[in-house]
Structure 1
Amino acid sequence: MCCFSGTQLVQSVSKTRIFGRQEKKLQHLIYSMSIVASDAVAMVLPVPVVPGGPDDAMKFADFSGYPKVFDDLELGFRPPVTVYRGSPAALPALPKPVLEVKQVGAYEASFVPTIADFSRLDARFRLPDDVWKKLPGYAAFGFAVFKLRAGAQDVHPMAFSFPTARPGHVFFPTLHIHDGEVHAKEHFDHTLYLQGENLNLNPGWQGSPGVAMNHVKCEQTHHFVLPEMHVHRRRIYGKHANGDIVLKPLV
């Protein structure tokens, strides 16, 4: 789920990219997007944390030094180069790099353990109480809150780990609330990346031909991306049912 405080302040959200990996009782998430906002806003990502934990149960990682991690993840899915006898191989065009974030630490991050704890945040960065009344399924969730500056920006990756209440699952927060309302369908512009084993992957997921270390600077990912594992990718674009995406373990 991706929702914003000050719903009238957000003009557009696009190019959302999310990486997820489950590790024993933890889940790791990396999140990036492009946003246009007329004033500073907070993005709220509800996640299934183990309830009753301490205020520092969620651990944030600074990816401002590796803003192109998603570009490198995407490189793992380039089509192979075909070599024709008697002529040079045509190299595939590389994707254009995203604009580098110049402001180091482009946001402030907070962990909100429960809905009730939103009262401890600055009032500007809270969501209306009636939003949560419409979403009873999130009553036991915790929340990662990122305070973003005004203007048009490609947000450098936001990353955090949390003790998950759903061991063996990988949770992608993809339910949209951009205008204060929960709509049955929403426009998606998402690319999801995954590392994991023994997960029930539907046909929409594509595996990378090689392992992550072939393209990703794994030593710069705070151990979020494992070098010797393959990566899976799923692209979601257009109108779809509005909800989170959860990968379950194989039975």
Structure 2
Amino acid sequence: MCCFSGPVKEVADTSIFARASSGGRQFLVYSMRVDADEAMAMILPIPVPVSAADDAVRFINLEEYPEFFEEMRSGYPVPPLTRAQGFAARAALVLAVVEVGSFVASFVPSIADFSRLDERFRLPAEVWDDLPMYRDFGFAVFQFKEGNQKVHPMAFEFPRADPRQLFFPTVHIHDGIVHPAADFDHALFCQRSGGEEVTAWEETAEPAESFMKNVGQAQGIVDPAERCYRKTLRGVFRNKDVVVSA
């Protein structure tokens, strides 16, 4: 789910990378271009175990590796298509805020815990009524300043409720309303580590270390010895998240 706490004029050029990590956890890296008139937050749902602790998510600073996705795309011989415009609570302790490069981030363990977050960066309560599938999810929240910006990749590692699945948050909520279909401008990337089914995805000809020249700066998120897979979503699609199962 690419969901914003306030109105945005444009969201485009979204790239997401996912890979299973140790102990049933998952890495997720997210990048996009966004244009907004006021400061707001992006909210990403993540399928964590029920009652996950406040520190269950580990945020990773990739500020020194802004070319993460550019290098990953270079592993594919066919250039990308032309871009298209896309569009009972715990104790009320304030949630921890983590500085992650040029923005700050928080992990919200449950919908009820949004009451512990700055009111400016919450969604209207009625929005969650239209999203029952997120009842048991946690949420990674990234806060941005106003203006037109291409943010450096946002990365974190989280425990998965189902270690057999790679999760890509792709549901769109850009205007406070959950629409049945949405404009996508997404490139999804992953690496296999547990037999994930990616036969319909584009595979690189070589392992990541052959085309990601600065892969060491990925801090273990990318396995240099494994190939990458890509799925491109551009145009109008059903407004739902993408899950890759083993």
TM-score, normalising length from structure 1? Answer: 0.86
Residue in structure 2 matched with residue 2 of structure 1 by the alignment: 2
Partner of 1:199: 196
Counterparts of residues 1-251 of structure 1 (less than 5 Å): 1-7=1-7, 10-24=8-22, 25-78=24-77, 105-197=101-193, 198-203=195-200, 205-216=201-212, 217-249=214-246
Residues 207 and 232 in structure 1, CA contact (< 8 A), matched pair in contact too: yes
Cα distance between partner residues in 2 of 1:161 and 1:237: 27
Contact kept, 8 Å, 1:187 with 1:239, in 2: the verdict is yes
C-alpha distance in 1 between matches for 2:102 and 2:37: 16
Cα displacement string for residues 35-77 of structure 1 (whole angstroms, at most 9, x for unaligned residues):
0000111000001011212111000000100000000000111
**SS in structure 1 opposite 2:209?**
helix
- Stretches of structure 1 that go unaligned for 5 or more consecutive residues are 80-91, 93-103
Does the 8 A contact of 2:2 with 2:44 survive in 1? yes
Take 2:204 and 2:19, find their aligned partners in 1: how far apart are those partners?
Answer: 15
Letter in 2 for 1:239: V
Which residue type is aligned with residue 55 of structure 1?
D
Amino acid at match of 2:110: T
Q: Is the 8 A contact 1:189 1:237 kept in 2?
A: yes
Secondary structure in structure 1 of the residue aligned to 2:230:
strand
| CA RMSD, 1 decimal | 1.3
Distance 2:173 2:51 in 1: 26
For the residues of structure 2 that align with 1:129 and 1:76, how far apart are their CA atoms?
42
4+ runs deviating over 4 angstroms: none
CA contact (8 A) 1:106 1:149 kept: no
Return the letter of the residue paired with 2:240.
G
Aligned length: 223
Consecutive unaligned residues of structure 2, counting only runs of 5 or more, are 80-99
Of all paired residues, the percent bearing the same amino acid is 46
What secondary structure is seen at the aligned counterpart in 1 of 2:107?
Answer: strand
Cα deviation per residue 1:132-153 (whole Å; 9 max; x = unaligned)? 1111110000000000110000
Deviation by residue 1:213-247 (Cα, 9 ceiling, x = unmatched): 11222211110001000000111100001100000
Kindly indicate whether the alpha-carbon contact (under 8 Å) linking 2:198 and 2:229 is maintained by their aligned counterparts in 1: no
**TM-score, L = length of structure 2:** 0.88
Whether contact under 8 Å (2:103, 2:143) holds in the other structure is yes
Matched residue SS, 2:151: strand
Instruction: Give 1:202 shift.
Output: 4.8
Task: Give the counterpart letter for 1:144 in structure 2.
Answer: A
